[in-house]
Structure 1
Amino acid sequence: MSTNIVWHQATVNKEERRKKNHHSSAVLWFTGLSGSGKSTLANAVDRALLDRDVRSYVLDGDNIRHGLNKGLGFSAADRTENIRRIGEVAKLFVDSGQFALTAFISPFREDRDNVRALLTEEEFIEIHVRCSLEECERRDPKGLYEKARQGVIPEFTGISSPYEEPLTPELVIDTDRETIEESVMKVINFLEERGLL
Structure 2
Amino acid sequence: MKASNLTWHQTTITKQERRNQNGHGSCVLWFTGLSGSGKSTIANAVSSELFRHGINEYVLDGDNIRHGLNKDLGFSEQDRTENIRRIGEVAKLFVDSGKIVTTAFISPFQADRDQVRELFDDDEFFEIHIDCPLEECEKRDPKQLYAKARRGEIKDFTGINSPYEEPENPDLVIHTNLLSIQESVEVIIHFLQKKNLL
TM-score range, shorter chain: over 0.9
Cα distance in 2 for residues equivalent to 1:154 and 1:194: 40
Mapped pair 1:39 → 2:35: no
**How far off is 1:58 after superposition?**
0.3
Normalised to the residue count of structure 1, the TM-score between the two structures is 0.99
Residues 91-149 of structure 1 show CA distances to partners (whole Å, capped at 9, x for unaligned) of: 00000000111000000000000000000120001100000000000000000000000
Structure-to-structure mapping, 1:116-127, within 5 angstroms: 116-127=117-128
Cα distance in 1 for residues equivalent to 2:186 and 2:79: 34
**How far off is 1:167 after superposition?**
1.0
* 1:30 partner SS: strand
Query: Which residue of 2 is the match for residue 196 of structure 1?
Result: 197
> Which ranges of structure 1 fall in alignment gaps of 5 or more residues?
none
CA RMSD in angstroms comes to 0.4
Query: Which residue of 1 is the match for residue 100 of structure 2?
Result: 99
Structure-to-structure mapping, 1:74-113, within 5 angstroms: 74-113=75-114
Query: Which residue of 2 is the match for residue 28 of structure 1?
Result: 29
Query: Which residue of 1 is the match for residue 4 of structure 2?
Result: 3
| Aligned length, in residue pairs | 197
Query: Which residue of 1 is the match for residue 130 of structure 2?
Result: 129
Q: After TM superposition, where is structure 1 displaced by more than 2 Å over at least 4 residues in a row?
A: none
**How far off is 1:24 after superposition?**
0.3
Cα distance in 1 for residues equivalent to 2:189 and 2:144: 31
Query: Which residue of 1 is the match for residue 148 of structure 2?
Result: 147
Which residue type is aligned with residue 8 of structure 2? W
Normalised to the residue count of structure 2, the TM-score between the two structures is 0.99
Percent of aligned pairs with the same amino acid: 65
